[in-house]
Amino acid sequence: MKIGKITDIKGITVGHYTNKEKGTGCTVLLCENGATGGVDVRGTAPGTRETDLLKSGQLVEKIHGISLSGGSAFGLDTAGGVMRYLVEKNVGYNIGTNVIPIVPSAILFDLNLVSNDFSPGITEGYTAAKNASIEFEEGSVGAGTGATVSKMLGWDMCLKGGIGSYCITLDNGVQIGAIAAVNASGDIVNPKTGTHISKPFDRKNKTFDTYVDSLLNSSIPSDNKDQNIRENTTLGIIATNLCLDKSQTNKLAERGQDGFAMSIQPCHMPGDGDVVFSISTWESQQNVDRSTLTSIYALAPIVMSEAIIRGATLASSLGGVPSSSEIKLSKD
């Protein structure tokens, strides 16, 4: 077995656009050879583009990229920049004298960290696509630039989030990988140990708490509005090199959401717009029997969980919000 990043899967590259001054950015995953796509939306406040065509039974079979962006709904424009880049490379569905690339996208809310007067758009999406490579940064870059976590006890107690990736290559060549932009309202937890990677931090008193503990101890004021804070949404992509059809690929996205539930507590809250995309690159000739499907569906939550943990662990402070690596979490 080998551990790595999602770009270990042949045919996948990842690029970022990062703007620290404005506290936002975008991340683009390219699959220029085309890949079967799927999606699972669990959040109640999602912002998405081209997700209906990913559902089983819809006509489009292949996608050519995915854009994950900060900037709230404005960030959906980044997909247009990715399309422009792919058209220049003649990547997409052939329509005679031109091509049409299919680039689904989703956004997260990061407008209150540093600035709310700028969001990634077409130019920034193009830049991220142009930067795509098998080598890419993790942490507070790209779509993770303005990400924050642990916000359910108030914005003034949150910590920085970021983007992380994780991939498993089995000895038989089967690969399953993930990338996640971690901007959750809940806390980040290591499911193997039960310890918190992040939890609300009182910066004045240098103490920690959790929303659930405060809830059980009846220490949250009845008029508290912070538990419904809207500056959230975790975005993920899960990929395999196997030859999956659309139904199987959509099931993979569902399993990716289970990885959210493993490492984000609480998860899928009213202020979250959680979205997981999935892709099957068809690069492996491995026979996709029930045993093989079972194995990747079992591993999918694990790689997504690990990607989320890396996104929070590798984050760096920005806009006055510290990262968990820069403060010492108390023992759980």
pLDDT means over runs of 10, the chain (332 residues): 97 98 97 97 90 92 97 96 98 94 96 91 98 98 96 88 98 96 94 92 79 72 56 93 96 97 91 93 91 96 98 95 79 44
What's residue 14's pLDDT? 98
CA dihedral 283, 30, 251, 142 (to 10 degrees): 140
Nearest to 24 by CA among 119, 107, 117, 160: 119
pTM higher than 0.85:
yes
What's residue 223's pLDDT? 56
Q: Which helix (H) or strand (E) holds 198?
A: strand 196-198
Q: 209: which 2 tokens?
A: 């708490």
DSSP 258-317: HHHHHHEES-S-TT---EEEEEE---------HHHHHHHHHHHHHHHHHHHHHHHHT---
Q: Where exactly are the structural domains of the chain? A: 2-317
What's residue 171's pLDDT? 94
Q: 267: which 2 tokens?
A: 């998860």
Q: What is d(CA 108, CA 151) in angstroms, rounded to the nearest whole number?
A: 14
In tens, the pLDDT along 264-286 reads 998 888 888 899 999 999 999 88
Q: Which CATH number fits domain 2-317: 3.30.70.141, 3.40.605.10, 3.60.21.10, 3.60.70.12?
A: 3.60.70.12
What's residue 330's pLDDT? 46
Q: Tell how strand 105-107 and strand 63-69 pair up.
A: parallel
